[in-house]
Structure 1
Amino acid sequence: MEPIALTEAVFYILLSLGEPLHGYGIMQNAEALSNGRVRLAAGTLYGALGTLVDKGWIEEVPASGGGRKREYRITAAGRSVVEAELARLRELLENGERVVEGWSR
């Protein structure tokens, strides 16, 4: 899979969906995982969820407990996207560290 640079918001949304969550739960989880750096507004979140469903990276699942809230979870394709993004970020970090180490010589 060709690496796709994800926005921080999309990355944290995908990370949040290892188990089914509704929108507010995703917002809370993304904020917690990012140490408060990523705060998703409702409009941003629901727009992203629609796009991620269309791409097949997440899916809507029946709400636990029979509630009316929509819940989502990551798909196998979404997990592959996260893994590719982690590999891309590792490469960026390794390249940056190597170059910066050379500056101090």
Structure 2
Amino acid sequence: MTEALREPTFLVLTALAEQPQHGYGVMEDVLRISEGRVRLRAGTLYAVLDRLRVEGLVEVDREEIVQSRLRRYYRITEQGAQRLVDEVARLRRNATAASARLRKSGFAIEGGTA
């Protein structure tokens, strides 16, 4: 059984699931995906990306020079996509269990009634 992903890791993989992106693009996408709740700083983002590269979950897609600065684009690997699929399934199972228990206890669930 694999360990649960930390939220920043989950969100970075989610951001890269659609298309390759450079670091700033990933930071902005994570902010959108989390509805403004998670704001990654550059140091945190690149630490996550470095760890994900070592683990084989993301890789460098391409590099380009923009205004005399290196811009590196990252993409999710097949292994990274599968890890994200597994995490989504785990979260869904947990949410389903919690929702069922809340309903049984008479608590309203978002999008429905008790």
Give the TM-score normalised by structure 1: 0.90
Relative contact order, higher structure (CA 8 A, sep 6+) = 1
Separation of aligned partners in 1, 2:100 and 2:74:
39
Percentage identity across paired residues of the two chains: 37
Dislocated runs of 4+, deviation >6 Å? none
Which of the residues 94, 97, 114 maps onto 1:95?
A: 97
Which of the residues 71, 74, 77 maps onto 1:75?
A: 77
Q: RMSD of the alignment, in Å?
A: 1.4
Q: Which runs of 5+ in 1 are unaligned?
A: none
Q: Which runs of 5+ in 2 are unaligned?
A: 107-113
Give the TM-score normalised by structure 2: 0.83
- Structure 1 residue 19: Cα displacement: 1.4
Number of matched pairs: 102
Q: Hey, which of these two has a bigger chunk of helix by percent?
A: 1
2:7 partner letter: E
Q: Hey, which of these two has a bigger chunk of strand by percent?
A: 2
Q: Structure 1 residues 69, 47: closer, same or farther in 2, change over 3 A?
A: same
